Every structure is written in C-alpha cells, then in structure tokens.
Structure 1
Amino acid sequence: MKINKEYLKRLLLYLKPYWKRIVLSFIAMIIVGALTSLTAYLIKPVLDKIFIAKDKKMLILLPFAVMATYFFKGLFTYIQSYQTMYVAENVLFNIRNQIFKHIINLPIGFFEKFHTSELLSRVLNDTERLQYTIAKVMPEAIREFFTIVFLFIVIYTIDFKLALISTIVFPIAIYPIVKFGKDMKKLGRKRQISIANITTLIQESFFNIRLIKGFITEDKETEKFLKKSHEFLNINLKSFRISEITSPLMEFIGSLGIAFLIWFGGLLVFRGTISVGGFFSFMAGLFLLYRPFKTIAKASNSINSSVGAIERVFYILDTKPTQEIKPNGYVFDGVKDSIIFDHVSFTYDGTKYALKDINLKVEAKTIVAFVGESGGGKTTLMDLIPRFYDPTEGKILIDGIDIR
C-alpha cells in the first residue's frame, strides 16, 4: 500500500483543523478496544467463580460488570463514529469546494484536454471515495488495531505458552493482506478510469442523439457501451474475487491454529496448568481476534483502491493555470479606439501553427467579417480576444493596452 508521501502530507493538512475531534476519536477507539478485550477476560471469572466455585457474591457482581462493559463499549463506539464522520464530511466539503474552484479558474485548454464526464467523476466520485475511506475504513481499521493489542494482552495474561503458540499463525495470516492489497490498488485505479469512460460515453451519446438517430447508429453506440460496461464488469468481478478470497483464506489458516490450540489447551486443563474458565476465556480472546484481522484485511484492500482516487484529486489540484491574471489590471469598459493584432502567432500543441504572424487593426464601432474554410483559424482568432488562450507569439492591444 504505497501512497505519495507529499499527497499524504497534504491530506493531513485537511485533517489538521479538526485535530481535537480526531484525538477524541482516538481515545474512544482505545477505550472500545480495551472494553472488547474485557468481554473476553470476563469469561474466566464467570466460569471459575460462578459455575465452578459457586461464589454468590460474584453471581451478583459479574452480570452488572458485563452489562456495564457493553454499555460503555456502545457509548464510545458512537462517540468515535460520530467524530470521524464529522471530520470526513467536512474534509469532503473543503476538498470538493477547492477542486471546483480550482477547475473553474483553469483555462479553456484544460477543458479540451479533459472531458466533462471525467471532471464530474473526479469532483464527485473520487472525493466521495476519499470521504468513505476517512469516515469508515480507516477509523475501523485503527479501532480494530487497538482491539488486537488489548486482546493479545489478555491472552498473554491468561497463559503465556498458549499465547506464544497462537501468535505464530498470525504472520502467516498477514500474507494474503499484503499480496491482495497490491492487486486491489491497481484495480482501484482501473475502476475509476472505467467509470469515467462510461460516463463520457453516456454523455456523448445523449448530447449527440440527433446525429445518432440521423445516421442510424444506435446499434453501434449500444455496442460501444456494452464493450465499456463489460470492461467495468470484469474489473469489479476481479476486485470482488480478491476481496472475498481474503477472509476465507484467513479463516482456514486460523482454523489450523485453533484446532491445535484446542488439543494443546485441553492437555493443559487435564494437567491443571490452566483452569477451565481460563481456557475458555483464552479461546474467546482468540475468536474475538478474527473479526479485527478480517476488518483490517478488508480495510487494506479498500485503502489501496482509494489511493488512485487520492492521486487523481491532487493531480487536478496540481494543474497550474497557463495564464497569468494580474491583480492590478485594467477594467474593460468597451473598445474606445481599436483592437490591434501585433505579429500574433498561436499554436495549440506547440508544433503546428493555427495562426501565423497576424497583423490586424480593427477600429472601434466598425464591423469586420472573417470568411474562410473550416479550420482556417477564424474561431481561434476570436478566442484570443477574451483571452480564452494567450498568443504564442506577439501581442493583442485594446486601446493601446496589452490585454495580458
């Protein structure tokens, strides 16, 4: 799971104004992790003190302890979820506004390079995916990480040898997360591009519906859409296969370790090395470890898929305007004297000239008609006046003032 460090730093800047809420969320995550582990540990006194030792005092205290544990776990889970959602929604609000403001101020050439549907995908889909990662995926992964830490403390406290044996299986279980995570990152990028391509095709088809009807190309357009949809389907199915195989594989690897632990733990119970309550509390801790590892595995895949969205968002924000807007420029109030093209040349791609060494003077309050074949440069000439583009060479003067 690799993400450009510069992008990560910039993403953290969006989170910085909400650091208090993030700290509160982290505290809530730690408490939830600790309380989840406590539910496993409470099994030991429930079995040993109530059902085996028949301790009446514990019969009264432990049910209240269990209820209190789950009450506070639910409370702090709510606090954590609300805080992270609040931060994520505000980050989404800020990024979406910034990217729209940035795009709307870019020159016409940018909009010719990127199709409208692709820009829509970046403003809406990519930012939405980023918001989901911040609000849901990352907080759950961090919370489950704390849960894993506390559960390991519980199982090592109950029996060190059993815990040491159980730890061996977890590095093996981590391998699928690393392997499939790389694949999910690539598929995440392909998926976002595929969505943009489909959106582009739909928009072009609906916009040019008269041409499609006039030339009877409905079947051709349908075939093109089917091809793009099929590509998107294959990407989603492959992503689904990778995502869904992770959990069963981890389950199987975990079952091998659990089967051995039941056998070995049973021997320890027979020898009196560990109590019945201690063994069942230990096993409960192990079973509770499964969900956090499964969540982190899925989170890893989801975060890798989101890396492409993050890169696409910042790519747009990093696109620099090609035109310089001077803050102390003149306010245009109509042409008073003339418009002059002084040795103006222009090229779109830096190689082929659309206009070459144009010298022209148009007096105020006169009408001039430009006539010529398509592609002769008439539209380009007009686009230079309102500065949709700037001349590659030369300058344009309105009332003797360079329009730049």
Structure 2
Amino acid sequence: VNIELCKRLFRYLNPYKKKLLLAILFSVIVGVIASSPVPIIQKTFDDIFVKKDFFMLKAIPIALVLLYAIKAILVYAQNIIILGISWELVVRVREELFAHIHKLPFNFFEENETGQLISRVMNDVTIMQSTITRLLKEFVQNSITLLALLGWIFYLKWDWAIISLLVIPVMLLPINNIARKLKKLSHKGQEITADLNATILESFSGIKVVRAFAMERFEAEKFNSFSHSFLAVMKKNVKYIEITSPFLELLGVVSASFVLWYGGFQVLTDKVTQGTFIAFIVGLFMMYAPLRILLRIYTNIQVSLAGAERVFSILDLEEEKVKGGNKELIRFNEVIEFQNVSFKYPSRNTAVLNSINLTLEKTKILAIVG
C-alpha cells in the first residue's frame, strides 16, 4: 500500500476528527461484542450442561440479547457517521477537482478528452470514497473482532492457537501478489472507462456529423473495441478477486482439522473440558469471516488507491499562471482595437491566429469563428 497516498487521502478527514473518533469507538465495541459467542459457548457447556448451573442458564440468554441489541444500535450509528463523512468527502474532492481543472493550461485540454475528464471527476472520485468507507467502517471493526477472537483462543489453549496460526505465512505471499495485480488492472480498467466515456460523449454530441457522413459503423466498432477491452480486464479482475475466499477457506479447514484431531484426543483423555474444546473450534471458525473480509478489503483498497492516484495526478498539475503586465479594462469610450494579435496552442506548431487586427465598436458584437 502506498503510505504517502493514504496519508494524503486522509488529510481530507481532518475536519471530521471528533466524528471519526466516535465511529472508531463504536467499531471497537462492536468488534468485541462480535467475539462474545466464544466465552458464552464455553460457559454454556462447562457451567450449564456439566455443572448444572441454573443461574447461568438464565443469565447467558439475557446477556446475549442485550449484547446484540447494543451491537445493532452501534452498527447503525457507526454506518450513519462513516457513510455521511465519505459522501461529504466525495463532494469536496469533486468540487476541488472541478475548480482546479478550469485553471489548467489550454494544452491540458488538447491532450485530454472531455469524456476522460468526466470519468476522473465522477468515477475516480467515487472509487476513492470506497477506500474511506472500507477502512473506517469494515477494517477497524473486523480487525478488533479478529484480535478479540485471537485473544480468546489464546486464553483457552495457547498451544492450539499457535498451531492454528502456522498457515498465515502461507497465506500472505499470494494475497500480496494478487493485490498488486489488482491495482494494475484497476488502473487499466479506469483508463478504458475514461475512453468509453470520451467515445460516447463525442459520438452523441456529434451525432449529426456521424449520420451525415455515414460513420455509424465506425463509431460502433470504436466503442465495441473499448468495450471488449474493458470486458477482458474485468474478467481478469474477477479471477483474482474470487480466488482469495476459497484459498483462505481451504487453509482454514486444514488448520481446524488438525486442531480437531489433536484437541479431540485431549478431550477424550480428560485433559481439556468439552466447553473449552467446542469454544476453541467455534472461535477458530469465527475468525474466518473477519479475516476473509480484511483480505478482501486489502485487495479492494489497491483498486481504490488507483482511482486516488488518477485524481491526485490532475490536482498536482500546476495551474496556468497569468503573465505580468496584463491590465484590467474597466470601461472604454468608443472602440477597442487589437493590433497584430497572434495565438497558438503549446501542443501545436501552427498558429490559430496570426497577426490579426480587429476594431470592436461600442454596443457591437464581434465573433471569431473557426
């Protein structure tokens, strides 16, 4: 992950620090509550079923309902805060980008088609928003849940926990490679989307010319070419994204199966209680969901950061500087005269205007058409 890019992106969140801290606090509480079934299961088997504890029989169901009622309220409040902030961020970045583009030199517009710029302002900024939402909403909450579950399984049986975590190094290397490939594919997909937008805009805005010169087939072939390129990129994207879940599930089952065999033997020899064994297995399987989500977030963030890079690449362009010596024209009496006016775009060799002389009389309108 590009740390500098993330830092720059999160600078936009400075005005929302208090709200963010509140949302993160909610995420921490929700994450801890999400891990509560592990100790509850242990207490259920060891205290209720084995020790015949009738008080725990009443207390545990009530506690479970209260905990998940609190969780539901906090999840709703957290989502309202984070999604509200992320959409405000979209509006701010779009406004900043739109205003900045208007101040760029003319040669920028020579090199970038209108449809591509529309894609930057609309699509790429929306992709950025998903980075903020996932990091603040899903990453924090699932990280806390995973850490809490990890704490519980270490508390229950630390040696089993170490055995269970031996699969993590096997998991990280391929996931990291997949994330890098997804970032490249995202860049390519966003560029093709920009080309599609440019093609649609140009074709529809110039529909009279297209029809007049019988260019319908040419325009359709041009659009189809970009469309098929986009399809190829998306198919590769899906292939890399969807491989993570079954790969992770397989590793998880291998780990759990070993613990099931080793732990089951210790239960049969009365070295471990049934409640501890069942709670450990449940906790281990519960870790799969937040771990899968975190890995999916990691790969998706690579895609989102590609959108952020495209947005910041425009925001980093230097605005056109007005040369010194220009005078503001407040009012005039009869005429304005232009003598030997020449102009050419930086990207072109030939002049658009060459030694033009104009006289503009008061109350008259003069247009240069070309």
TM-score, with normalisation over the residues of structure 1? Answer: 0.84
Aligned residue pair count: 369
Aligned to 1:239: 237
Select 1:29's aligned residue among 24, 27, 48: 27
- 8 Å contact from structure 1 (residues 345, 353) kept in 2: no
State percent identity of aligned pairs. Answer: 31
Change (3 A) 1:352 1:273: same
Retained in 2: the 8 A contact 1:21–1:83?
yes
Is this contact kept in 2: 1:269–1:279, CA < 8 A? yes
Equivalent position of 2:202 in the other structure: 204
SS of structure 2 residue aligned to 1:26: helix
| Aligned residue in 2 for 1:311 | 309
Instruction: For residues 33-54 of structure 1, give each alpha carbon's deviation from its aligned partner in whole angstroms, at most 9, with x where no partner exists.
Output: 1111122221000111112221
SS of 2:361's partner is coil
CA 27–355 in structure 1, closer or farther in 2 if over 3 Å, else same: closer
Q: Which amino acid aligns with 1:354?
A: A
Letter in 2 for 1:365: E
Answer yes or no: is the 8 Å Cα contact 1:118–1:197 preserved in 2: yes
- Alpha carbons 2:175, 2:244 under 8 Å: kept: yes
Q: Give the greater-gyration-radius structure (CA).
A: 1
Pick the aligned partner of 1:90 from 66, 88, 91.
Answer: 88
What's the counterpart of residue 365 of structure 1? Answer: 361
Cα RMSD over matched residues?
Answer: 2.7
1:69: which partner in 2? 67
CA shift, 1:21, in A, is: 0.9
Contact 1:173 1:254 (C-alpha < 8 Å) held by counterparts: no
**Residue identity matched to 1:171:** P
TM-superposition CA deviations, 1:121-178 (whole Å, max 9, x none) = 1111111111122124552022111111111110000011111111112222223321
Asked whether 1:56 is paired with 2:69, we answer: no
Pairing partner for 2:227 from 205, 229, 245: 229
Q: For the structure 1 residues 35 and 345, does the alpha-carbon distance in structure 2 shift closer, same or farther, using more than 3 Å as the test?
A: same
User: Would you say the 8 A contact 2:110–2:347 is kept in 1?
Assistant: no
Q: Does the CA contact (< 8 Å) of 1:337 and 1:364 recur in 2?
A: yes
Deviation at 1:224, TM superposition (A): 1.7
2:272 corresponds to which of 259, 263, 274: 274
Structure 1 equivalent of residue 130 of structure 2: 132
Q: Deviations over 1:181-237 (max 9, x none)?
A: 001110111111111111111112212222322232322222222111110001111
**C-alpha offsets along residues 252-285 of structure 1, whole Å, 9 cap, x if unaligned?**
1111111101000101112222210111111111
**Alignment partners' CA distance in 2, 1:39 and 1:262:** 19
User: What is the match of residue 2 of structure 2?
Assistant: 2
Residues 325, 147 of structure 1: CA spacing in aligned structure 2 closer, same or farther, 3 A cutoff?
Answer: farther
Task: State the distance in 2 between where 1:31 and 1:58 align.
Answer: 23
> Matched residues in 2 for 1:356 and 1:56: separation?
94
- In the alignment, the residues of structure 1 paired with residue 309 and residue 75 of structure 2 have an alpha-carbon distance, to the nearest angstrom, of 31
* TM-aligned CA deviation for residue 334 of structure 1: 4.9
Structure 1: where are the runs of 5+ without partners? 371-377, 381-404
Residue aligning to 2:250: 252
Matched, 1:352 2:346: no
Alignment match, 1:213: 211
* 1-structure distance, mates of 2:22, 2:352: 61
Q: Do 1:346 and 1:353's aligned partners in 2 also have CA atoms closer than 8 Å?
A: no
AA matched with 2:36: L
Q: What pairs with 1:372-391 in structure 2 (closer than 5 Å)? A: none
Q: Structure 1 stretch 62-71 or stretch 236-245: which is displaced more?
A: 62-71
Q: Determine helix, strand or coil for the equivalent of 1:339.
A: strand
Instruction: From the superposition, tell whether residues 275 and 329 of structure 1 become closer, same or farther in structure 2 (CA, over 3 Å).
Output: farther
CA distance in 2, matches of 1:47, 1:144: 27
1:123 counterpart = 2:121: yes
Change (3 A) 1:293 1:108: same
Would the alpha carbon gap of residues 329 and 65 (structure 1) be closer, same or farther in structure 2, given more than 3 Å must change? Answer: farther
Q: Partner amino acid for 1:210?
A: K
SS in 2 for 1:54: coil
TM-score norm. by structure 2 comes to: 0.91
Contact 1:338 1:361 in 2 (8 A): no
Say whether the 8 Å CA contact 2:114–2:198 is kept in structure 1: yes
1:260 and 1:206, CA in 2 relative to 1: closer, same or farther beyond 3 A?
A: same
1:351 offset after TM fit, Å?
7.3
2:318 alignment partner in structure 1: 320
Moved over 6 A (4+): 325-328
Q: Which has the higher contact order (CA 8 A, sep 6+)?
A: 2
Unaligned runs of 5+ in 2: none
Q: Distance in 2 between matches of 1:57 and 1:183?
A: 55
In the alignment, what sits opposite 2:154?
Answer: 156
